Amino acid sequence: MSPEQTLKNRWGYDTFKPLQKEAVEAALAGRDCLVVLPTGGGKSLCYQMPAAMGRGLVLVVSPLIALMDDQVAAAREAGLAADALHSNLKAAPKREAYQNLVNGTTELLYVSPERLLTGDLYEIIGPRLILAAVDEAHCVSHWGHEFRPEYRRLTEALDQFPKAARMALTATATPVVQADIRSQLALRDPEILIGHPDRPNLIYRAFPRRDQFKQVLEVVRRHPGEGGIVYAQTRKDVERLAANLKKEGVSSAPYHAGLNAEARRQAQDDFVNERLDVIVATIAFGMGIDRSNVRYVVHANTPRSVEHYQQESGRAGRDGLPAECALFFSAADLATHRWMAKKDVTLSPERERALEKQLRDIGRYAVAPVCRHSQLAEHFSAPYPVGERTEDGCGACDVCLGETKGLSEEEALLTAKKVLSAAWRAEGRYGTGYVVNLLLGRPNDRITGNGHDLLKVFGILKEAGEPAVRSWIDQLIVQDYLEVTEESEYPLLRITPEGRALCQDKGSVRLGLPVPPKAGKKKSAALKKAEKAGVSFLEADNELFDKLRALRRAVADKKGVPPYVICHDSVLLEMASSKPKTIDDLRGMKGIGEKRLEKYGQLFLDAIAGKVEEAPE
């Protein structure tokens, strides 16, 4: 059976996504390859396909222990003989997995790097192994955003299987990280398959943070009853935001490393299985999450890097349907990240340089009044696809949607000079709040005592208002014209040499401001998703779509798997719209392979015909 026939039969798709077929063909030819595809780009199919074609055993090394059992369930739904071996596995499934390996029936085996490196599997899997796939391969790189030391040792394991092809896969890797992956995993003359990092179905928004909870709640309210992740920087922030959302009637729970294992497991399980709408979490949450219909990701604090942001925000809209990614920025978050990175360890010069670059890059992304999609693409050295842009830009970020306005070059320079002059006059002896009061013309005992109320800069930005002034200060910090020093007990705001040069017209600056939103007619979430999926969907189809979602969840609960394992929202949207009557009608739909058709086809047809309300026992 050809790759195309296997794709249709097992997964229900007529065509591959970009670079999937090339990755499969490299593996089948025994050639190493590096695969960089965005979240939702179909990385798992690249290594599952050779196993599905019966060519031999495929080994998948993954750090996502929490996700492995779900990945095994999804592979089995496609008809693959799949197992996992990791430290969380109970005795009976572990014995069964070993027996399947010994019997030679396993087609796909997931292992954690620690489990593989114990060495006891080498002799069992060696003779049948055709492909060793290393997922989340950026973890091998010092320059990556989630470096894991045990990944550096993987080559000693891979060298035990000299005839097996190697496949390194990741969603986020700059050219520097790509080179490090090739070196650290000793890829041999690899095929380099770099997909475009852009996710056109995601709407990116980045705004200054003013009232954290109010801003988070506004996003949540735009997506009633839908799945969302809210990331916060500290455990205290997580607890506060989760509690406040609950008070507002939002189905939510906190998740962070300070909670006991059972509380974390329950929150994650409820979210993945759609019993919970919103999870509020530190970055401890996410790598084990594979819910495909997350409709929004909110960063209530600034993430640690552009790579972190790409991966965390990328958990939205994995099904290819529209999703929102909102980031609320404050320069104070960057200082907190710096402190947290250094509080327990002494960073090597290499890691410290990498950290500072990461903080600068995410700061600039968050405040520059420039198309967010193009900024992300450029960060990963990929031009923004020409075909995706119109005269109005990408049409899918706050800048191109007119929600953030960039000041003209002259206006930005004049405004920057006013802010920098106030910081200069304050002589680096005061914090941000003092300089803000100076610019707004707010007299207090300290300002009048210092005679600063007599300065020309006093009240020079009075008409702009505090939110704008604070935002401009943040924007000047990330552009290196201002800096926050930590030489005293309190952080002080100081002009930099670059800031002094800018005041003398040496250099250029970009400044922007949020624009108040316009009221418009709201469409239902299902209608917006259907429009993106190219499905002819009417508001009247909403009721059937919700009914099919409830049925899918009931089926998933009884099988003990997440709903996405049964099928994606896009499949249910098409069912609700076209209302198939026969198995053959269903067979033509994207995403329904023969195994799923056999297991669930009649059940969904009966539901559409009004004959069934819930999953049978």
pLDDT in tens, 223-258: 998 999 999 999 999 999 999 999 999 999 999 989
pLDDT tens digits, residue range 73-117? 889 988 999 999 988 888 898 999 999 999 999 999 999 999 999
Q: What is the CATH number of the domain that holds 428?
A: 1.10.10.10
- The answer to the question of residue 247 being in a domain is yes
pLDDT for the residue 533: 52
Residues 157 and 237 in one domain: no
Residue 522 falls inside a structural domain: no
Is the residue at 377 inside a domain? yes
Q: Is 445 among the domain residues?
A: yes
Residue 326 is given by DSSP the state: E
Note whether residue 617 is domain-resident.
no
pLDDT > 50? residue 401: yes
On average, the pLDDT of the chain sits at 88
Rg (CA), the chain: 26
Which of 6-10, 168-172, 386-390, 460-464 shows the lowest per-residue confidence on average (mean pLDDT)? Answer: 386-390
pLDDT band at 391 (very low <50, low <70, confident <90, very high): low
Side chain identity at residue 564, one-letter code: Y
Residue 60 lies in a domain: yes
Average pLDDT over residues 602-614: 80
CATH number reported for the structural domain that contains residue 588 in this entry:
1.10.150.80
- Both 429 and 286 in one domain: the answer is no
pLDDT of residue 68: 85
Looking at the fold, whether 423 and 369 belong to one and the same domain comes out as no
50 and 98 part of one domain:
yes
Quickly state the pLDDT bin for 520 (edges 50, 70, 90).
very low
Please tell me whether residues 77 and 211 are part of one structural domain.
no
Residue 381 is part of which domain span? Answer: 202-403
What was the pLDDT predicted at 521? 45
Domain boundary among 403, 427, 450: 403
Calpha distance 233→333 (Å, rounded): 8
What pLDDT is stored for residue 295 in this prediction? 94
Q: Is residue 141 part of a domain?
A: yes
13 and 89 co-located in one domain: yes
Percent of the chain, pLDDT > 70? 91
- Of 531 and 458, the structure prediction assigns the larger pLDDT to 458
> What φ, ψ does residue 535 adopt, rounded to 5°?
-95, 135
Pick from 403, 421, 441: which residue ends a domain? 403
Q: If 0-12 CB within 10 Å is exposed, 13-18 middle and 19+ buried, where does residue 288 land?
A: middle
Do 267 and 369 belong to one domain?
Answer: yes
* pLDDT for 387 beyond 80: no
**Per-residue model confidence as pLDDT tens digits over 523-577:** 555 555 555 555 555 666 788 888 898 899 899 888 888 888 888 888 888 888 8
What CATH code is carried by the domain that includes residue 361? Answer: 3.40.50.300
The answer to whether residues 448 and 475 belong to one domain is yes
Q: What whole-number distance in Å separates Cα of residue 103 and Cα of residue 155?
A: 27
Per mean pLDDT, which of 261-265, 378-382, 412-416 is the most reliable? 412-416
Q: How confident is the model at residue 519 (pLDDT cuts 50, 70, 90)?
A: very low
Q: Does residue 444 contact residue 553 with C-beta atoms inside 8 Å? A: no
Residue that terminates a domain, selected from 378, 403, 428:
403
Is residue 392 scored above 70 in pLDDT? no
* pLDDT value of residue 165: 97
How many angstroms separate the CA atoms of 565 and 292, rounded? 9
- What total number of domains does the chain contain? 4
DSSP 93-123: HHHHHHHHHHHT--SEEEE-HHHHHT-TTHH
Do 347 and 429 have their domain in common?
no
Q: How large is the average pLDDT for residues 348-371?
A: 90
pLDDT in tens, 136-189: 898 888 666 567 778 889 999 999 999 999 999 998 788 888 999 999 999 999
Considering the domain architecture, whether residues 7 and 92 belong to the same structural domain is answered as yes
pTM: 0.79
In a domain, 451, yes or no: yes
Cα gap 272→249, rounded to integer Å: 20
Q: Is the pLDDT of residue 362 over 80?
A: yes
Nearest Cα neighbor of 183 from 305, 42, 32, 287 is 32
Q: Are residues 265 and 279 in the same domain?
A: yes
Are 335 and 262 in the same domain?
yes
CA distance 123 to 114: 17
